């Protein structure tokens, strides 16, 4: 019998257009899904790599849970909805057959619909817009395996749950809303995944598996990602089994709970009650009551319309907030807020204080989907409210205009979102309070939600209403809205069309900074919103005019009545909106495209490519070097502009005449190079003017060793507004560096970086760093040939409420009118790398005094008022750094050190001569809990202090390995300072984050993973991450003192200004030099370590296979462990090659003391075989033991390094 | 109050059904009955007058108002009770009625309260006024529908099959209410219950397949066929034979045996007895006679 029902279901569905519409949606979406979901950011992973296919399928099956719900949810509900249940249920069918037939029939249809995924994705990979270089050879298994293993189980459990809820609730609204529940699960998994500690748990419960996939493959190499199919085993298999079980359980529950009756008990009761009431007391007032006469004098005019509008709005609003779905959404949103681990500006695993703007950012990020949900869902409900209740015959004849009617729905919808906003704001405040943070900044909450988010909600609501009004199909309209959001936000960006005049809604407000507030972002933001809101109002009026009223549903006949419906008032309103739209559009265009130059990324790329093609020939042209810099800069922060004039002294360091000097203006339209003047006269060759490249042909050639003065003046002026505006020169928190000023010669920073883009313009892949033995590159340091050591003097003028700061020592400070001036001068040569900052600063002062010598350094921190939290930690960081570095490396070259706070636009700290600009978002507002966190303000300070040595004393040559000499050594130095100040666990905790950084970074490497000593640009994961790991390992092997001796010698010989060897060469040092010093201090038995750590890419796979212990005597325990150690080298093609092991590796044994794990045995053993059995005697009762317990070596999986011991 | 003029109204649906075929009617103040079988085009005509549907061609005017273009003006004086309708389930009868009253322009709070209460009494919903409409029975819903149609002193009342689902007492009450209003209002009543029209309507029209078959006062149309209607009790198997021989306009059962009515200008003899013509005979003579 069930088979008959099954067949009937298939036949019925086969005739329904919905089935094919859904299939079409899935199919079409699958074609473009990869482009949408990954936004073209896949490189170096191929577009059709198995992992990409699997993730895409996972995400689509999640996104289209709505379809699953519609198909499965209505399967048993349909009979009730169409009110033929009584006809069906009187037939001799039993419950089992009925449910089974319906379920399986619908499931088959569902599988048919989602089979569109397979076809669509296969077709998508051969679409004309797909670059066939990004495609692996076609392999059907790559598509079919994830479909069967991932999608089918998802459809099964989703279908089972939806089928059961639909059948039990018998309400269409439930079918619609249960998608929300799944959305919540989806969000939950994403949120949990953010916090890496829950990785395994997340992978296990993720219903759609796409998080699971990224977790299981997080350390996969590029080669693996491009070839391996996700193995259906382990956590993935358990996950699928878990969800299939959930599906089966829900089917069983459904079977027992489902009642084969027409009316559910609840409704029966209610009706009985009322019928009783009626019969109880029939009072026939008929004869006594007369209908009163009515005045009805106010059915005209605005007042009446306003009354109607407000009444309708209130009525609609009540219908939303009385309903369960709304509160379900609100509760889900709150649940997400509660459960999600807020990313409180977290860096290095450390949270910031829950300042209002961070909390707002997180609140919005976590809840934006719920706003979308409310708008998409309720726009449909409101538009369909009358028709769904079949009251439209009555309501459509009310004397209320279509515009008033739809406006009332819009107001109701926005009021409902406002309720959600207030609830979210309250939860934000509660969150802050719970964290002990009381500076609520309600004005920021207001701006964040009502200025930034609300216009977006408004626009989206209008789009939803428009689409609902156009289409006579609620659910189809939902899907189109979702598609629209994707297209409008992602597609245009991919195509590079990002102007706010045509990307719907305009751009976001932009980043908030405590120092600069929303700065200059507000003005363009408001204009774009005016533009889009007026546009959408026209759409809204149109939506009102064509909305369905009465029996006419055909779109053509609705269009015919538009004219009749368009009242005079509406005409005027439309005209006003069109005018506002036009005027604001013109004004925006005037600002962004006429006052400023608007260029898409594509045109910018062409410019860069042309620059390289035309001018690369000059890259090694002999040019003089800058040796003196003298600047006068007048900053006008409130206008976001400055004027600079001054001079460079250039010296011909070459042994031939220099006839022409090439000057490159920074290619930024706000910068205007007013004049450049050379002593002795010149001819200006303007052939390359378009690139800002000026060739000055000197009247008097510059002889070897001679110098020349180059005077120049430039200004930086902002006119009007642009969309992506400059964040260096701002109202409060100006911070820019020497690259704003003219540079000498060809500037390869202007070149295109991205190799894909370069290929498009027929350029060879960019060389990420010159080869380590490139003789011409060895002559350049970090400044890239412009001049490396300079004398520096500057006068900064700024507005009187700000302080201007730059390298050097303050010579003089004065006030002139409402402006303040600061004169800085460095008393000795310094790196050609300087910064200029200005803001309303508070200053904290202190002094460091050497313990051994009479050295003293003045310390200052310039900070934003309110950011006092970590000043002491930073101050301490400076002092401890000076203690360590002066003792172990060399004396500090300056008499003063300053940390200067900069805005959150750049999230980094940077070390300039005697000054470190330090972003507000990475150290100043970190909330350090000394129990749990690493003291990152302390650490970052130490790292930047270390650059005064590694960077400013030793200037590395601009070749491979440059990052190791500056960043890796700064990491090492800072870790050593941390180690002095804090216990070992804190250091380990820090190293652990660097280990993950390295492993994740190498998995995403697009080119070749270089060994540390040849690290190239763009390989931060190597010079920071691996650098920290391996330097730590190195000092663990040869001792901290030995490393420091090597570094001391290195700095003695290679200091840029006084180095013994540096004085005799024009070359800057490379890692080859450094490794010589390392080798000097390393015993022969450990020399292999240098090769492993620095000269090659070495990985280990270490684990404990078996471990137990035996009590030998009263205070003697024998620990037996079997360990497996495998060592690999990664060759230049990225292939992991196992090699024989002959290494010293830590073996550790832990005991437990008062619940704390304590290491009782830690010794390096020489491991010579893959499998080794060791017996070790310890004094205390051991609990666990393992190989490399401190994770000194790089091992993808360190969880199996230590094993719990069993007693034998 | 002016009369409602319908001229040359035609409507063809997308599936080819011709719902209205050049319908022209003049509907004066008072009750007007619209008779016709299911699918005759009654509801289409009513919806078109009630501003809910666009005709393909034709004109409807109500005094100065063009019903097809000045929809909102018409809606201000319109009371409409559709044939089938639902209500918001989670709203009480009183509050929905109040809400509709505001939208219809009864801005005076006191007046609104009075009219709402009066209508609730009139439709016998007063005791249940605070209950949610979701719990209302079919009859109660229909009474609510009547109440809302009478809000705001409508000048044009259109009621489509209004008494379906009402018990006889309620039906009487409703018709009394309508005829009270019909004194100075146009009331268009569509029904297939012939007696309702006879009792209530001074004017009526019969339509079938989109065409107006007859328009006039019930008594006059009855008079037109007086003395032409004959009846006879026959056997079941004879029906076919009689239908071929005579102009059979009606057949009904009495004690299980068919009685047929025929229309004949002369006495057909053959045991037929002349009977007093009823409106139903007029109706059936129009519906059946012409279609053969």
Q: A1042-1054, pLDDT tens digit by residue?
A: 999 999 999 999 9
pLDDT at res. A273 = 44
Residues B22-41 have pLDDT tens digits of 999 999 999 999 998 888 88
pLDDT at res. B195 = 83
Cβ <8 Å between B153 and A296: yes
Indicate the angle between helix axes A172-194 and A356-388, nearest 10 degrees: 170
pLDDT at res. A272 = 43
B132: Cβ contacts below 8 Å, ≥ 6 apart: B89, B90, B91, B92
Query: Quick check: A880 and A942 in contact, CB under 8 A?
Result: yes
Asked if residue A494 has pLDDT above 70, the reply is: no
- Provide the token pair at A507: 């751009």
Higher pLDDT, A315 or A216: A315
Higher pLDDT, A293 or A519: A519
Same domain, yes or no: B201 and B115: yes
Residues A516-542 have pLDDT tens digits of 999 999 999 999 999 999 999 999 999
Stretch 97-116 of chain B: residues touching chain A, C-beta under 8 Å: 99-100, 102-108, 111, 114-115
Mean pLDDT of B89-103: 92
Does A573 map to a domain? yes
HEC per residue, chain B: CCCEEEEEEEEECCCCCEEEEEEEEEECCEEEEEECCCCCCHHHHHHHHCCCCCCCEEEEEECCEECCCCHHHHHHCEEEECCCCCCCCCCEHHHHHHHHHHHCCCCCHHHHHHHHHHHHHHCCCHHHCCCEHHHCCHHHHHHHHHHHHCCCCCCEEEEECCCCCCCHHHHHHHHHHHHHHCCCCEEEEEECCHHHHHHHCCEEEEEECCEEEEEECHHHHHHHHCCCEEEEECCHHHHHHHHHHCCEEEEEEECCEEEEEEECCCCCCCCCEECCCCHHHHHHHHHHHCCC
pLDDT at res. B272 = 86
Same domain, yes or no: A136 and A249: yes
Among A57, A64, A53, residue whose Cα is nearest residue A23: A64
Stretch 170-189 of chain B: residues touching chain A, C-beta under 8 Å: 173, 176-177
Question: Does A291 contact B at CB distance below 8 Å?
Answer: yes
Strand arrangement, sheet containing A743-744:
A682-685, A693-702, A658-664, A743-744
Does B85 map to a domain? yes
Asked if residue A620 has pLDDT above 50, the reply is: yes
Question: Does B205 contact A at CB distance below 8 Å?
Answer: no
Q: Please, which pLDDT band fits residue A1025 given cuts at 50, 70 and 90?
A: very high
Same domain, yes or no: A13 and A119: yes
Does A62 map to a domain? yes
Q: Please, which pLDDT band fits residue A286 given cuts at 50, 70 and 90?
A: low
The domain boundary residue, chosen from A559, A574, A595 = A595
Same domain, yes or no: B128 and B37: yes
Cβ <8 Å between A292 and B106: no
pLDDT at res. A410 = 97
Q: How far is CA A170 from CA A16, A260, A264, in A?
A: 21, 12, 9
pLDDT at res. A615 = 94
Query: Quick check: B201 and B31 in contact, CB under 8 A?
Result: yes
Give the minimum alpha-carbon distance from A394 to chain B in angstroms, rounded to a whole number: 7
pLDDT at res. A266 = 47
pLDDT at res. A89 = 63
Q: Please, which pLDDT band fits residue A395 given cuts at 50, 70 and 90?
A: very high
Same domain, yes or no: A260 and A328: no
Does A911 map to a domain? no
Q: Please, which pLDDT band fits residue A283 given cuts at 50, 70 and 90?
A: very low
Domain count, chain B: 2
Does A899 map to a domain? no
Beta bridge partners of A812: A823
Q: Which chain B residue is nearest to residue A304, measuring alpha carbons?
A: B105
Same domain, yes or no: B20 and B40: yes
Give the minimum alpha-carbon distance from B202 to chain A in angstroms, rounded to a whole number: 23
DSSP secondary structure letter of residue B24: E
Same domain, yes or no: B59 and B184: yes
Q: With beta carbons under 8 A apart, name residues in chain B contacting A294.
A: 106, 108, 111, 115, 152-153
Q: Dihedral, CA atoms, A378, A384, A389, A395, nearest 10 degrees? A: 120
Asked if residue A271 has pLDDT above 60, the reply is: no
Tell me the Cα Rg of chain B. 21
Least confident of A150-154, A222-226, A734-738, A1118-1122: A222-226
Mean pLDDT of A564-585: 93
pLDDT at res. A528 = 93
Cβ <8 Å between A396 and B153: no
Does B25 map to a domain? yes
HEC per residue, A816-831: ECCEEEEEEECCCCEE
pLDDT at res. A261 = 65
The domain boundary residue, chosen from A254, A271, A288 = A271
Question: Does A281 contact B at CB distance below 8 Å?
Answer: yes
Same domain, yes or no: B178 and B265: no
Same domain, yes or no: A335 and A424: yes
Q: How far is CA A828 from CA A641, A712, A831, A895, in A?
A: 30, 23, 10, 11
Question: Does B80 contact A at CB distance below 8 Å?
Answer: yes
pLDDT at res. A188 = 62
Cβ <8 Å between B71 and A564: yes
Structural domain harbouring A44: 2-271
Domain count, chain A: 3
Question: Does A289 contact B at CB distance below 8 Å?
Answer: yes
Stretch 941-970 of chain A: residues touching chain B, C-beta under 8 Å: none
pLDDT at res. A1096 = 95
The domain boundary residue, chosen from B172, B188, B215 = B215
Complex ipTM, two decimals? 0.91
Q: Please, which pLDDT band fits residue B276 given cuts at 50, 70 and 90?
A: confident
Highest mean pLDDT among A101-105, A819-823, B144-148: A819-823
Q: With beta carbons under 8 A apart, name residues in chain A contacting B84.
A: 390, 393
Highest mean pLDDT among A189-193, A478-482, A599-603, A1009-1013: A1009-1013
Among B51, B53, B64, B69, residue whose Cα is nearest residue B20: B53
Same domain, yes or no: A103 and A186: yes
Higher pLDDT, A676 or A1197: A676
Residues A635-657 have pLDDT tens digits of 999 999 999 999 999 999 999 99
For chain A, give the percent of residues with pLDDT over 70.
92
CB atoms within 10 A of CB A1126: 16
Does B284 map to a domain? no
**Residue A961 CA to chain centroid, in angstroms?**
29
Mean pLDDT of A109-115: 93
d(CA A669, CA A813): 32
Q: Please, which pLDDT band fits residue A262 given cuts at 50, 70 and 90?
A: low
d(CA B147, CA B139): 12
Same domain, yes or no: A261 and A326: no
Residues B212-256 have pLDDT tens digits of 998 999 888 888 888 888 888 888 888 888 888 888 888 888 888
d(CA A327, CA B93): 25
Query: Quick check: A424 and A418 in contact, CB under 8 A?
Result: no
Give the minimum alpha-carbon distance from A431 to chain B in angstroms, rounded to a whole number: 36
Does B157 map to a domain? yes
Same domain, yes or no: A167 and A96: yes
Same domain, yes or no: B29 and B157: yes
Question: Does A550 contact B at CB distance below 8 Å?
Answer: yes
Give the minimum alpha-carbon distance from A88 to chain B in angstroms, rounded to a whole number: 23
Stretch 29-68 of chain B: residues touching chain A, C-beta under 8 Å: 47, 50-54, 68
Question: Does A290 contact B at CB distance below 8 Å?
Answer: yes
Cβ <8 Å between B100 and A319: no
Question: Does A276 contact B at CB distance below 8 Å?
Answer: no
The domain boundary residue, chosen from A237, A271, A305 = A271
Out of A277, A292, A389, closest to residue B127 by CB: A277
Considering chain A, what is the average pLDDT of its residues?
88
Same domain, yes or no: B69 and B24: yes
Residues A782-821 have pLDDT tens digits of 887 788 899 999 999 999 999 999 999 999 999 999 999 9
Q: With beta carbons under 8 A apart, name residues in chain B contacting A293.
A: 153
Same domain, yes or no: A256 and A338: no
Question: Does B17 contact A at CB distance below 8 Å?
Answer: no
Same domain, yes or no: A226 and A343: no
CATH number at residue A1149: 2.60.40
Indicate the angle between helix axes A522-546 and A568-589, nearest 10 degrees: 150
Out of B54, B103, B106, closest to residue A398 by CB: B103
Among A850, A971, A829, residue whose Cα is nearest residue A914: A829
pLDDT at res. A951 = 94
Does A698 map to a domain? no
A1041: Cβ contacts below 8 Å, ≥ 6 apart: none
Residues in chain B: 292
d(CA A794, CA A634): 11
Q: Which of A294, A320, A326, A553 is the mutation pick for testing B, counting most B CBs within 10 A?
A: A294
pLDDT at res. A277 = 43
DSSP secondary structure letter of residue A603: H
Prediction pTM value: 0.83
Same domain, yes or no: A22 and A96: yes
Q: How far is CA A137 from CA A32, A51, A56, A673, in A?
A: 19, 15, 18, 53
- Provide the token pair at B193: 């219950």
Least confident of A141-155, A323-337, A602-616, B70-84: A323-337
Question: Does B231 contact A at CB distance below 8 Å?
Answer: no
Does B282 map to a domain? no
Same domain, yes or no: B245 and B146: no
pLDDT at res. A223 = 77
Cβ <8 Å between A274 and B137: yes
Same domain, yes or no: A562 and A452: yes
Same domain, yes or no: A355 and A418: yes
Query: Quick check: A857 and A892 in contact, CB under 8 A?
Result: yes
pLDDT at res. A298 = 63
Same domain, yes or no: B20 and B148: yes
**Residue A238 CA to chain centroid, in angstroms?**
30
Out of B50, B103, B150, closest to residue A311 by CB: B103
Asked if residue A263 has pLDDT above 70, the reply is: no
pLDDT at res. A544 = 94
Does A1173 map to a domain? yes
> Does the N-terminal peptide bond of residue A44 adopt cis geometry, omega within 30 degrees of 0?
yes
Query: Quick check: B190 and B160 in contact, CB under 8 A?
Result: yes
Question: Does B148 contact A at CB distance below 8 Å?
Answer: yes
- Provide the token pair at A715: 């200004």
Same domain, yes or no: B238 and B204: no
Structural domain harbouring B255: 227-276
pLDDT at res. A289 = 66
Asked if residue B289 has pLDDT above 80, the reply is: no
B240: Cβ contacts below 8 Å, ≥ 6 apart: none
Does A688 map to a domain? no
- Burial of B47 by CB count in 10 Å (0-12 exposed, 13-18 middle, 19+ buried)? buried
HEC per residue, A412-456: HHHHHHHHHHHHHHHHHHHHHHHCCCCCCCHHHHHHHHHHHHHHH
Q: With beta carbons under 8 A apart, name residues in chain B contacting A277.
A: 127-128, 131
Residues A46-69 have pLDDT tens digits of 888 888 888 888 888 887 887 888
Does A245 map to a domain? yes
Q: Please, which pLDDT band fits residue B292 given cuts at 50, 70 and 90?
A: very low
Mean pLDDT of A459-466: 94
Cβ <8 Å between B128 and A294: no
Q: How far is CA A902 from CA A716, A730, A806, A908, B228, in A?
A: 20, 11, 13, 9, 106
Q: Please, which pLDDT band fits residue A754 given cuts at 50, 70 and 90?
A: confident
Same domain, yes or no: B22 and B90: yes
Does B291 map to a domain? no
Looking at chain B, the number of H-run helices and the number of E-run strands are 10, 14
CATH number at residue B41: 3.40.50.300
pLDDT at res. A91 = 67
Q: Please, which pLDDT band fits residue B291 given cuts at 50, 70 and 90?
A: very low
Asked if residue A270 has pLDDT above 60, the reply is: no
For chain A, give the percent of residues with pLDDT over 90.
55
Q: Please, which pLDDT band fits residue A195 given cuts at 50, 70 and 90?
A: low
Asked if residue A226 has pLDDT above 90, the reply is: no
């Amino acid at each position: 019998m069930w088979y008959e029902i099954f067949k009937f279901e298939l036949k019925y569905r086969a005739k329904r257009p919905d089935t094919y519409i859904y299939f079409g949606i899935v199919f079409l979406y699958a074609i473009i899904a990869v482009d949408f979901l990954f936004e073209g950011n896949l490189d170096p992973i191929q577009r059709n790599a198995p992992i990409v296919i699997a993730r895409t399928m996972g995400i689509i099956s999640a996104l289209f849970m709505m379809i699953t719900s519609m198909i499965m949810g209505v399967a048993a509900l349909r009979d009730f909805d169409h009110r033929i249940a009584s006809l069906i249920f009187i037939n001799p069918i039993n419950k089992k057959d009925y449910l089974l037939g319906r379920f399986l029939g619908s499931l088959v249809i569902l599988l048919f619909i989602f089979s569109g995924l397979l076809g669509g994705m296969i077709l998508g990979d051969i679409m004309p817009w797909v670059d066939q270089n990004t495609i692996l050879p076609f392999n059907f298994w790559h598509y079919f395996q994830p479909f069967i293993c991932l999608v089918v189980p998802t459809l099964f459990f989703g279908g089972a749950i939806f089928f059961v809820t639909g059948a039990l609730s018998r309400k269409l609204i439930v079918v619609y809303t249960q998608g929300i529940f799944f959305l919540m699960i989806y969000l939950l998994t994403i949120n949990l995944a953010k916090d890496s500690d829950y990785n395994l748990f997340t992978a296990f419960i993720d219903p759609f598996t796409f998080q699971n996939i990224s977790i299981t493959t997080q350390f996969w190499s590029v080669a693996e990602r491009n070839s391996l199919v996700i193995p259906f085993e382990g956590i993935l298999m358990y996950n699928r089994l878990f969800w299939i079980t959930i599906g089966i359980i829900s089917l069983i529950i459904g079977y027992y709970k489902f009642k084969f009756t027409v009316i559910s008990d609840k409704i029966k009761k209610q009706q009985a009650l009322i019928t009783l009431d009626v019969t109880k007391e029939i009072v026939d007032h008929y004869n006594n009551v007369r209908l009163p006469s009515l005045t009805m004098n106010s059915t005209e005019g605005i007042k009446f319309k306003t009354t109607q509008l407000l009444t309708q709005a209130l009525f609609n609003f009540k219908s939303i907030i009385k309903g369960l779905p709304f509160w379900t959404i609100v509760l889900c949103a709150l649940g997400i807020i509660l459960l999600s681990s807020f990313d409180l500006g977290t860096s290095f695993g450390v949270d910031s204080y829950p300042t209002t703007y961070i909390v707002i950012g997180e609140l919005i990020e976590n809840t934006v989907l719920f706003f979308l949900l409310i708008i998409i869902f309720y726009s449909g409900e409101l538009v369909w409210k009358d028709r769904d209740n079949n009251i439209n015959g009555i309501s459509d004849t009310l004397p209320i205009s279509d515009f008033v009617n739809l406006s009332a729905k819009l107001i109701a919808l926005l009021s409902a979102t406002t309720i959600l906003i207030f609830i979210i704001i309250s939860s934000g405040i509660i969150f802050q309070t719970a964290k002990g943070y009381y500076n609520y900044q309600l004005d920021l909450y207001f701006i964040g939600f009502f200025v930034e988010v609300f216009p977006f909600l408004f626009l989206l609501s209008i789009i939803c209403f428009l689409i609902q009004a156009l289409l006579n199909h609620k659910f189809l309209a939902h899907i189109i809205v979702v598609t629209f959001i994707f297209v409008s936000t992602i597609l245009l960006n991919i195509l590079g069309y990002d102007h706010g005049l045509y990307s719907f809604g305009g751009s976001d407000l932009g980043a908030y900074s405590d120092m600069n507030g929303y700065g200059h972002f507000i003005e363009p933001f408001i204009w774009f919103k005016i533009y889009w809101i007026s546009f959408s109002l026209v759409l809204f009026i149109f939506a009102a005019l064509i909305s369905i009223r009465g029996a006419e549903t055909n779109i053509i006949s609705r269009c015919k009545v538009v004219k009749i419906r368009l009242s005079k008032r509406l005409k005027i309103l439309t005209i006003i909106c069109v005018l506002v739209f036009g005027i604001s559009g013109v004004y925006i265009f005037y600002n962004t495209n006429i006052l400023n130059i608007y260029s898409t990324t594509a045109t910018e790329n062409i410019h860069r490519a042309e620059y390289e093609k035309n001018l690369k020939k000059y890259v090694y042209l002999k040019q003089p070097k800058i040796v003196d810099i003298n600047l006068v800069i007048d900053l006008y922060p409130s206008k976001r502009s400055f004027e600079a004039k001054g001079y460079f002294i250039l010296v011909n360091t070459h042994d031939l005449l220099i006839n022409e000097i090439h000057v490159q203006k920074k290619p930024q339209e706000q910068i205007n190079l007013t004049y450049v003047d050379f002593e002795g006269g010149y001819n200006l060759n303007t052939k390359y003017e378009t690139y800002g490249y000026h060739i000055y042909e000197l009247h008097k050639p510059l002889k070897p060793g001679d110098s020349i003065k180059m005077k120049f003046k430039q200004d930086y002026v902002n006119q009007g507004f642009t969309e992506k505006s400059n964040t260096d020169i701002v109202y409060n928190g100006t911070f820019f560096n020497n690259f704003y000023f003219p540079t000498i010669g060809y500037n390869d920073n202007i070149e295109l970086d991205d190799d894909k883009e370069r290929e498009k313009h027929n350029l060879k892949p960019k060389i990420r760093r010159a080869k380590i033995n490139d003789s011409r590159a060895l002559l350049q340091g970090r400044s890239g040939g412009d001049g490396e050591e300079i004398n520096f003097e500057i006068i900064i003028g700024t507005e009187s409420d700000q302080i201007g700061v730059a390298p050097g020592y303050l010579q003089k400070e004065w006030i002139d009118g409402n402006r303040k001036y600061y004169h800085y001068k460095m008393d000795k040569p310094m790196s050609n790398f300087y910064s200029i900052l200005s803001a309303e600063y508070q200053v904290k002062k202190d002094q460091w005094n050497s313990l051994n010598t009479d050295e003293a350094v003045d310390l200052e921190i310039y900070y934003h008022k309110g950011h006092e939290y970590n000043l002491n930690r930073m101050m301490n960081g400076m002092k401890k750094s000076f203690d360590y570095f002066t003792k172990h490396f060399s004396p500090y070259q300056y008499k003063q050190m300053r940390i200067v706070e900069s805005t959150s636009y750049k999230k980094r700290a940077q070390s300039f001569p005697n000054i470190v600009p330090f972003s507000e978002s990475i150290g100043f507002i970190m909330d350090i809990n000394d129990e749990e966190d690493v003291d990152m303000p302390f650490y970052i300070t130490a790292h930047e202090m270390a650059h005064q040595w590694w960077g400013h004393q030793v200037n590395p040559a601009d070749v491979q390995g440059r990052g190791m000499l500056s960043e890796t050594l700064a990491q090492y130095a800072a870790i050593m300072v941390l180690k002095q100040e804090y216990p070992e666990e804190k250091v380990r905790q820090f190293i652990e984050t660097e280990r993950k950084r390295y492993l994740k970074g190498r998995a995403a490497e697009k080119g070749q993973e270089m060994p540390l000593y040849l690290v190239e640009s763009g390989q931060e994961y190597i010079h920071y991450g691996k650098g920290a790991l391996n330097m730590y390992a190195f000092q663990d092997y040869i001792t901290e003192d030995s490393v420091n001796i090597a570094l001391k010698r290195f700095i003695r010989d290679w200091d840029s200004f006084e180095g013994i060897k540096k004085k005799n060469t024009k070359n800057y040092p490379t890692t080859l030099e450094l490794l010589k010093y390392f080798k000097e201090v390393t015993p022969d038995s450990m020399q292999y370590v240098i090769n492993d750590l620095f000269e090659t890419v070495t990985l280990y796979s270490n684990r404990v296979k078996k471990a137990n212990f035996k009590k030998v005597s009263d205070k003697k325990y024998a620990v037996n462990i079997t360990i497996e150690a495998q060592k690999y080298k990664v060759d230049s093609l990225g292939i992991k090659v196992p090699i024989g092991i002959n290494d010293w590796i830590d073996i550790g044994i832990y005991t437990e003391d008062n619940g704390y794990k304590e290491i009782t045995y830690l010794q390096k053993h020489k491991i010579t075989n893959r499998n080794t059995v060791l017996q070790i005697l310890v004094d205390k009762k051991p609990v666990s033991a393992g190989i490399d317990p401190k994770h000194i070596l790089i091992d993808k999986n360190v969880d199996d390094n230590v094993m719990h011991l069993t007693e034998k | 109050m002016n009369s409602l003029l319908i001229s040359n109204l035609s409507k063809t649906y997308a599936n080819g059904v011709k719902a209205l075929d050049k319908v022209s009617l003049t509907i004066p103040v008072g009750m007007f009955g619209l008779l016709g079988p299911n699918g005759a085009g009654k509801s289409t005509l009513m919806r078109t007058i009630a501003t809910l549907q666009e005709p393909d061609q034709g004109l409807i005017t109500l005094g100065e108002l063009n019903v097809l273009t000045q929809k909102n003006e018409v809606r201000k004086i319109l009371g409409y009770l559709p044939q089938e309708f639902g209500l918001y389930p989670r709203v009480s009868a009183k509050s929905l009625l109040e809400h509709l009253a505001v939208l219809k322009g009864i801005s005076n709070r006191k007046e609104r309260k009075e009219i709402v209460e009066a209508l609730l009494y009139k439709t016998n919903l007063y005791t249940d006024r605070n209950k949610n409409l979701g719990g209302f029975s079919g009859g109660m819903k229909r009474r609510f529908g009547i109440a809302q149609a009478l809000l705001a002193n409508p000048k044009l009342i259109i009621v489509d099959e209004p008494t379906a689902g009402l018990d006889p007492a309620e039906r009487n009450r409703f018709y009394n209410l309508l005829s009270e209003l019909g004194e100075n209002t146009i009331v268009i009543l569509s029904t297939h219950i012939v007696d309702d029209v006879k009792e209530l309507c001074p004017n009526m029209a019969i339509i079938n397949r989109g065409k107006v078959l007859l328009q006039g006062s019930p008594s006059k149309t009855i008079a037109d066929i007086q003395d032409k209607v004959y009846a006879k009790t026959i056997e079941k198997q004879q029906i076919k034979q009689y239908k071929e021989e005579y102009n059979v306009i009606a057949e009904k059962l009495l004690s299980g045996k068919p009685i047929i009515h025929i229309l004949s200008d002369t006495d057909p003899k053959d045991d037929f007895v002349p009977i007093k013509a009823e409106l139903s005979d007029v109706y059936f003579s129009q519906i059946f006679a012409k279609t053969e």
